[in-house]
Copies of this chain bind each other. A is one copy, B any other.
Amino acid sequence: MTHGVDTDRNAAVGRMTRAGGGLRGLRPTAKVLPEHARSHNRSLVLQQLYRTEGLSRADIARSTGLTRVTISDLVGELIGEGLITELGQREDARPGKPATLLALNVHAFHLIGMDLSDKVAFHAARFDLGGTIIERISAPRGTAVGEDALELVYALVERLLRDETSPILGIGVGSPGVVDGEGRIRTAPNLGWHDLPLRDLLAERFELPVTVANDANAAVLAEHTFGSQDAASDLILIQIGAGVGAGLIVDGAPVSGSRSAAGEIGHVVVGTDGGPRCACGKDGCVEAWVAAGRLAEQLEQAADPAAAEALLAAAGERLGIALAPVVGVLNLSEIVLSGPTTLLEGPFADAVLETIRQRTISDIHAELTLRMTALGQDIVLRGAAVLVLSGQLGVS
């Protein structure tokens, strides 16, 4: 096998596109060829270096179970494509030939992530392969919907593509609404999009691999990848803003649902005692109880800090009531909240967790944790980057 000759990066991208993602998400009816095994193992190497910089070929061989020979071959290929670089020799004083340390070359490619979930503006960024934001831009949305909104998206991508420091690996998009497995926006009322094949439109226009997902799904992917140290493989992320949405990872894989509409918790009725009227017409929806706008409004009218706390705790309790069956049935290990920290941190979050504990078998869920996301406003944006990284390199 000859490597190190492939200097054409576009060709390399082409190969990676085919390689994408390894065996995950494989439908039981799909054949598997030896080359799929190869690309899976290739992703394995990248994954190791994505997590830990400065591993030797032998280190990777040990941790993957593949032989040093095979790893050498894969690493050679990846170095040839520019994805991996040799850092030099390990400094340790120990017997044997010193190891040559390797690292992901995070600037071999860049990638584009977009967040279309903000009502005020579309956000986009150029990332390196490590998931670090290199350049960030926004475009105020105004009242743009339909075709106009689409043009805004195109314009953002074009602006980011203009600065050609590194070839672009792909584009990831986190969009509100229902997004199917083919990256088509089934329906996004706020954007006036219905059955819009966004993935294919972008892919054709920019001749790049594109992945489109629901914003809450993108967010939970970001949380899964960048969030906590020991990434939980069963977690739910609750996004609280104008609406309330959820993204879910079960057994390490994002859940999209039978009609690509998973995560719809905002309009689930909670409790058996009515509740505030919701925009959807029902009484007592989760969204009617805990949407950020309503919470802020109520807080303003609160007589004193104690009353404010009670209000937040009551709202948190409602979310807890809705989540308890989900936590019980899925045996989730982690709940992450995303939204205005001032509203959610403290009494609200405490009440959510406490309510879930009270309403399930607390022993079983003793290890259940609840925390605020550490990714702040960028959560969807970074999730969009994860879409590309995991889709094109099998890394996350």
| B-binding residues in A (CB < 8 A) | 16-17, 19-26, 28-34, 36-37, 40-41, 43-44, 47-48, 51, 63-66, 178, 230-234, 236, 246, 248, 250-253, 255-265, 267-273, 280, 282, 321-326, 328-333, 358-361, 364, 367
Contact = CB atoms under 8 A, between A and B. Distances in A.
Given A21-B251, A251-B21, A261-B364, A268 B324 contact: yes
Q: How many copies does the complex hold?
A: 2
A20 B268 contact: no
B257 A234 contact: yes
A265 to B, nearest CB: 5
Q: Is the interface of A mostly helix, strand, loop or mixed?
A: loop
Most buried by B among A36, A261, A329: A329
A356 to B, nearest CB: 10
Contacts of A29: 22, 24, 40, 43-44, 47, 63-64
Contacts of A51: 28
A259 B28 contact: no
23 contacts: A20-B233, A22-B29, A22-B32, A23-B32, A24-B230, A25-B231, A28-B47, A28-B48, A29-B44, A29-B63, A32-B40, A36-B37, A178-B364, A256-B331, A257-B330, A264-B360, A264-B361, A265-B328, A269-B359, A271-B272, A322-B325, A325-B325, A325-B326
